[in-house]
Amino acid sequence: MDNFIKNFGDILKYTFTTASTIVVFLVLLVFDFGFWPSLIISLIIGSFLYFKKDKSDKPAKTKVQRLRKLTPEKEAFYKSKGLSKEEMKFFRETMQTAKVNILELEQNMRKSTKLTAIEKRNNTIHLAKALFKEITEEPQRLHEVDKFLYVHLPSLKDLTAKYIEVDNHEVKHKSTFSVLAESAETIDGMCNLIAKDYVSFKSEEIEDIELEMELAKKAITRDNHSTDEINDEEL
């Protein structure tokens, strides 16, 4: 009801500018339903179509499990890394947000052939997931990935979402294509920063950082476990 009242003006506009509801209103008048009953019925139908349209226009949200209860095993692991109760809570909430951002970014990258090409060239999703898992294994180093967690990752997610929004415009002008080209270039640069974040975190194990940057973009292999999925990663 609150949404109905809030959107009443939009509903009225939608009802009397949409062919289907106008036809319904006129048909009801022809069959002598009376002006006010016809208007009320048309508004009800218009409201239904409006909210149905509004719901269908909203992008699908990434389905991510809510933060689970901390297990005794995981708590013992965090304690072994020197984390206090407050630090455990902060770490888990921070990484849950990162998980959501990575999964939404992955969805965005799949919605555009241009973004897919950029992602494949930079190996961005694989590197982001690999870094996510590296951080969960060394939670005491959370402060070392501030830029990745709070700047690069969320900014890249937002940029790709905006790119898709503009790219989906039915009518594109010359300026639109210019904006898309500039956005794609910026996204490519942000993907490169994700690769740098990974290499920086692993810098103690890497002698030639520039060489590793190129290798990281092409492929990263893990000795112990896959980095393809993070949705079920325990925090």
Please say whether the dihedral angle defined by the alpha carbons of residues 181, 156, 192 and 125, taken in this order, is positive or negative: negative
Contact between residue 156 and residue 196 where contact means Cβ atoms under 8 Å apart: no
Domain coordinates of the chain in residue numbers?
2-57, 72-218
Burial of residue 102 (CB within 10 Å: 0-12, 13-18, 19+) is buried
Q: Which residue has the tokens 């794609």?
A: 184
Chain-centre distance for alpha carbon 174: 28
Amino acid identity at 107: Q
Q: How far apart are CA 136 and CA 132, in angstroms?
A: 6
Contact between residue 53 and residue 77 where contact means Cβ atoms under 8 Å apart: no
Enumerate residues 6+ apart whose C-beta is below 8 A from 29. 35, 38
Contact between residue 217 and residue 195 where contact means Cβ atoms under 8 Å apart: yes
Cβ atoms within 10 Å, residue 190: 20
Q: How far apart are CA 101 and CA 157, in angstroms?
A: 7
Q: How far apart are CA 133 and CA 43, in angstroms?
A: 52
Burial of residue 95 (CB within 10 Å: 0-12, 13-18, 19+) is buried
Cβ atoms within 10 Å, residue 193: 19
Crossing angle of helices 8-15 and 35-57, in 10° steps, is 110
The pLDDT of residue 54 is: 54
The pLDDT of residue 173 is: 80
The pLDDT of residue 44 is: 77
**Confidence (pTM):** 0.64
The pLDDT of residue 45 is: 75
pLDDT digit string (tens) for the chain, length 235 residues: 444 455 566 666 666 666 666 666 666 666 666 777 767 777 777 676 666 655 544 444 545 567 788 899 999 999 999 999 999 999 999 999 999 999 999 999 999 999 999 999 999 999 999 999 999 999 999 999 999 999 999 999 999 999 999 888 877 788 888 889 999 999 999 999 999 999 999 876 555 555 555 655 555 444 444 445 666 677 7
The pLDDT of residue 9 is: 62
The secondary structure element, H or E, covering residue 202 is none
Largest CA distance in the chain: 85
The pLDDT of residue 61 is: 52
